[in-house]
Amino acid sequence: MKPGALNRSMWAFHINTGSCNGCDIEIVASLAPRYDLERFGLRMVGSPRHADLLLVTGPVSRDMESKLKTVYEQMPGPKAVMLIGNCGNTGGVFYESYNLVGPADRIIPVDVYVPGCPPRPEAIIDGLVKLWKKMEIRGVRK
């Protein structure tokens, strides 16, 4: 893939694997007019088959484990994954439970981790910029 090919048009699909929705409303706030991620070329789409980037929030619950894998496989390459919030990274406050199956990177490979509970919209933008740089320099997953 040519470097810079995804700079102006990253299409993202969001999946909530059981989070408290704090991270989700911060994603929405970063798309709202004040932080406005869309001016960087990011667009949310309704189907994983049109997406380049997968935004994952939440500790993965038992029910959502197979769905997360399916969504990841449905995305056509080149693709990237970004984990938002403490729950997906290490479990966060929900570190011990009978219905949660491991942090998300046990199930799908992850490129960028954005910590925070919930992370501020500025942190999400920072994560996105790092992702673009990473894709330019290191290439992406096929």
Partner 1 sequence: MKPEDVISSLKKAFGRGIKDVRIEKKAANAKKKYIIYRLWLTAETGIFKDAVRHLCSKYPDPHFSACSGYDTGKSIELIYHFTLNYATRLSEFTVSIKVSLPKSNPVVQTITDLIPGALIAEREMQEMLGVKIVGIPDTRRLFLDKTFPADVYPWRKDEKGPQKLVRNLNEEGKP
Partner 2 sequence: MSKDDAGAGKGEMVGNSFTLSIGPVHPALKEPLRLICEIEGERVVRVDFELSQVHRGVEWMGTRRNPIQILYLSERICGICNICHALAFCRAVESIGDIDVPPRAQYIRTIIAELERIHSHILWAGIMAHEMGFDSVMHYTWRARERVLDTIEYLTGNRITKAMITIGGVRRDIREDQYPVLRETLNFYSDIQAKLEKILLKDPVIRSRTRDTGILSRKDALSLCVVGHVARASGIRKDVRHDEPYAAYPDIGVTPVTPDQMTGEIRGDVYDRIVVRLLELRQSVDIIDKCIRGMPDGRIVHEEKAPKLLAELRGLEGDGIGRHEAPRGEVFHYVKMSKGESPFAWKVRAPTYNNVLSLVPMLTGRQIADIPVIAASIDPCMSCLNRAVVTDSGKRALVDQEAMHRLSVKRTQELKRRLCK
13 binds partner 2 (CB under 8 A): yes
Residues 6+ positions from 35 with CB-CB distance below 8 Å: 29, 121, 122, 125
Q: Considering the complex, state which of residue 40 and residue 133 has its C-beta at the smaller distance from partner 2.
A: 40
Rounded-to-integer distance, Cα 127 and Cα 2, Å = 21
| Smallest separation, CB 3 to partner 2 (Å) | 28
Measured CA distances, 19 to 22, 25, 82, 93, 133 (Å):
8, 11, 15, 11, 28
Q: Which does 101 bind (CB under 5 to 8 A by kind): partner 2, partner 1, none?
A: partner 1
95 binds partner 1 (CB under 8 A): yes
Q: Which does 90 bind (CB under 5 to 8 A by kind): partner 2, partner 1, none?
A: partner 1
Rounded-to-integer distance, Cα 38 and Cα 32, Å = 9
| Smallest separation, CB 26 to partner 1 (Å) | 21
Measured CA distances, 72 to 12, 66, 78, 81, 121 (Å):
12, 10, 12, 9, 24
Residues 6+ positions from 31 with CB-CB distance below 8 Å: 37, 38, 42, 44
Q: According to CB under 8 A, which one of 41, 94, 108, 115 is a site residue for partner 1?
A: 94
Binding mask 81-120 for partner 2 (x = CB under 8 A): -----------xxx-xxxxx----------------xx-x
Q: Which amino acid is at 134?
A: K
Binding site for partner 2 (CB under 8 A): 13-29, 31-34, 44-48, 55, 58-59, 61, 63-64, 66-71, 74, 92-94, 96-100, 117-118, 120
Binding site for partner 1 (CB under 8 A): 59, 62-63, 90-91, 94-103, 106
